[in-house]
């Protein structure tokens, strides 16, 4: 009887968790980004956040109407990027970045940086390891 | 900017906090210790709560179960507080605005308060009821509240990641 | 040596469960939270059991009685961990299949289960010759293995 009560209590608490998980949940690729909306952005870096748990690169991109729009590109943390050869000083404000990724589901100007072409020509897998997005788990994306 | 946000911003910009935020190994390591210390702190608390609710070891006096586990709980708490403090500092401005983090702190405070109240009321009278299979109502309520609040802390802790802001 | 079960993981990747886990915006988050709560409970229960076996905690209570009392807690928390783990896995089976930390976690999980099972069996046979020396060692080993499972679980999202 007691264990049943505890189990019920547990279920109640988990529902609380469900209620509080917002529509834009991170930390599972499919929760934040749309795998059916691939995109390529080419733009100049305006800001670099070389941070845990995610890195962010902000680029000014010219849209189809010729207007400049600032996009946020989400990448893995410093550890993950560094293991793929992308060190903190490799990109600076003003550098051009080519970002291939998938658009955020919420329509904001956010893209997950699955593949980034750096100014020096190197092409780096930028995704957060284990996020379940396309290419995640591929040997060549380690 | 409120005073609290200013303090958070100052902490956020401290050299060592920045170093943790931009680290390759330190941040992930701190996070790992933080999460795994749960087993030590909340785990031992849960065993005592389960005894109070009559679910485990109901024929053993409560004090004989709880007292020897206290050091383990305190060690776990020390680990969680220290790693938590460092992780907070690294993301102080984000945490200021993060509703899950605020709720986590609130639940944490309530969990601590619950334990304090229990300790100075019901538990102080354990000589009378410690060997009972079913402790008094006050003790059982405290135990149920403890399990609920700590579960809430864990859930909110995980939810922090879903409210991260950038920009 | 290849990690077994590629065909099963492939099948899971194309299952309705996979589709459902990916369609839902909150499923992964909530299930993972359940995974963490169960982790805390299993941590506590296995810690106190090992402490009893090693002789640090509740010394004047029969180890068999302690084990018997804790078994339901161990079983339920482990059950929740495995069930939630399977659901989390189903969201992207191949990603986990190729993840080194996941593989290590599964290996350590098997070893932890074996170690804990051996310990529980020996506890109920106090007269067995092996018990006196083997039990405390198994208790310590079990804890270390659970710790390893936990660490590898965390590393899945980092490597």
The complex scores an ipTM of 0.91
Length reported for chain C:
159
Q: What is the pLDDT of residues A108-127, one digit of tens each?
A: 898 988 889 988 888 887 66
CA distance A87 to A81: 7
CA distance C97 to C6: 7
B163 HSE (CA, 13 A, CB side) = 22
Residue B70 pLDDT greater than 90, yes or no: yes
Geometric angle at alpha carbon A23, from A19 and A25, rounded to 5°: 95
Q: Is C1 within the bounds of a domain?
A: no
Contact (CB, 8 A) for A25 and B105: no
Q: Is C56 within the bounds of a domain?
A: yes
Tell me which DSSP letter residue B162 carries.
G
In 3-state terms chain C splits into helix, strand, coil percentages (rounded to 5) of 80, 0, 20
Task: Please state the rounded mean pLDDT for residues B31-56.
Answer: 95
Q: How many CB pairs under 8 A join A and B?
A: 73
Q: Cβ B164–A16 below 8 Å, yes or no?
A: no
Per CB distance under 8 Å, which residues of B are interface residues toward A? 20-25, 27-28, 31, 53-55, 90, 100, 103, 144, 147-148, 151-152, 155-156, 158-159, 161-164, 166-167
Per DSSP, what are the bridge partners of residue A73?
Answer: A57, A111
Q: Cβ B164–A52 below 8 Å, yes or no?
A: no
Phi-psi region at A48: left, alpha or beta (left = phi > 0; alpha = psi -120 to 50): beta
The chain B residue lying nearest A87, using CA atoms, is B24
Q: Helix B62-90 to helix C27-54 angle, to the nearest 10 degrees?
A: 130
Q: What is the pTM of this model?
A: 0.86
Contact (CB, 8 A) for A104 and A34: yes
Q: Give me the percent of chain A exceeding a pLDDT of 90.
A: 27
The domain containing residue C131 runs over which residues? 6-155
pLDDT of residue A134: 55
Residue A132 pLDDT greater than 80, yes or no: no
CA distances from C103 to C13, C91, C116 (A): 17, 17, 20
Residues 6+ apart with CB under 8 A from A108: A72
Residue with more model confidence, C92 or A10 = C92
pLDDT of residue A106: 79
Give chains near A: 3+ CB pairs under 8 A: B, C
pLDDT of residue C30: 93
Q: Cβ B68–C57 below 8 Å, yes or no?
A: yes
Q: Cβ A18–C158 below 8 Å, yes or no?
A: no
CA distance B132 to B147: 20
pLDDT of residue A140: 41
Residue from C50, C33, C153, C53 nearest C104 by CA: C153
Q: Is C51 within the bounds of a domain?
A: yes
Task: Please state the rounded mean pLDDT for residues A60-74.
Answer: 92
Q: What is the pLDDT of residues B96-124, one digit of tens each?
A: 999 999 999 999 999 999 999 999 999 99
Give chains near B: 3+ CB pairs under 8 A: A, C
Residue A129 pLDDT greater than 80, yes or no: no
Instruction: Using an 8 Å CB-CB cutoff, list chain B residues near A57.
Output: none
Q: What is the pLDDT of residues B138-157, one digit of tens each?
A: 999 999 999 999 999 999 99
Q: Is C146 within the bounds of a domain?
A: yes
- The CA dihedral of B25, A82, B160, A29, to the nearest 10 degrees, is -140
Number of structural domains (chain C) is 1
pLDDT of residue A7: 54
Q: Which fold has domain A24-141?
A: OB fold (Dihydrolipoamide Acetyltransferase, E2P) (2.40.50)
């Amino acid at each position: 009887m007691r264990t049943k009560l505890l189990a019920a209590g547990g279920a109640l608490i988990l529902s609380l968790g469900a209620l509080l998980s917002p529509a834009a949940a991170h930390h599972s690729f499919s929760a934040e980004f749309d795998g059916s909306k691939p995109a390529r952005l080419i733009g100049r870096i305006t800001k670099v956040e070389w941070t845990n748990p995610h890195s962010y690169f902000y680029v000014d991109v010219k849209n189809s109407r010729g207007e400049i729009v600032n996009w946020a590109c989400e990448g893995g943390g410093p550890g993950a990027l560094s293991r793929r050869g992308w060190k903190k000083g490799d990109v600076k404000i003003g550098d051009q970045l080519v970002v291939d990724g998938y658009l955020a589901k919420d329509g904001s100007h956010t893209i997950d940086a699955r593949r980034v072409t750096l100014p020096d020509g190197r092409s780096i897998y930028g995704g957060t390891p284990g996020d379940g997005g396309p290419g995640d788990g591929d040997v060549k994306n380690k | 900017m409120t005073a609290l946000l200013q303090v958070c911003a100052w902490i956020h910009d401290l050299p060592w906090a920045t170093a943790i935020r931009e680290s390759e190994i330190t941040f992930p390591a701190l996070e790992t210790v933080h999460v795994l210390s749960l087993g030590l702190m909340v785990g031992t608390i849960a065993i005592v709560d389960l005894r109070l609710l009559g679910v485990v070891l109901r024929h053993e006096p409560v004090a004989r179960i709880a007292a020897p586990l206290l050091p383990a709980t305190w060690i776990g708490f020390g680990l969680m507080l220290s790693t938590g403090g460092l992780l907070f500092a690294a993301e102080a401005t984000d945490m200021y605005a993060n509703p899950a983090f605020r709720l986590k702190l609130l639940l944490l405070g309530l969990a601590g308060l619950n334990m304090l109240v229990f300790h100075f009321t019901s538990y102080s009278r354990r000589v009378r009821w410690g060997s009972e299979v079913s402790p008094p109502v006050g003790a059982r309520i405290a135990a149920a509240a403890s399990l609920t609040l700590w579960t809430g802390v864990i859930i909110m802790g995980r939810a922090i990641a879903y409210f991260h802001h950038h920009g | 040596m290849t990690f077994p079960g590629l065909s099963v993981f492939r099948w899971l990747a194309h299952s309705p469960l996979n589709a459902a886990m990916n369609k839902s915006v909150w499923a992964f988050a909530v299930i993972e939270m359940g995974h963490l709560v169960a982790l805390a409970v299993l941590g506590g229960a296995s810690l106190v059991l090992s402490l009893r076996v090693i002789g640090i905690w509740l010394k004047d209570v029969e180890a068999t009685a302690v084990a018997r009392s804790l078994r339901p807690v161990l079983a339920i928390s482990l059950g929740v961990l495995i069930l939630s783990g399977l659901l989390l896995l189903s969201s992207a089976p191949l990603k986990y299949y190729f993840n080194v930390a996941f593989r290590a976690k599964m290996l350590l999980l098997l070893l932890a289960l074996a170690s804990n099972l051996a310990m529980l069996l020996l506890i109920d046979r106090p007269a067995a010759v092996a018990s006196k020396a083997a039990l405390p060692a198994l208790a310590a080993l079990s804890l270390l293995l659970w710790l390893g499972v936990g660490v590898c679980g965390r590393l899945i999202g980092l490597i």
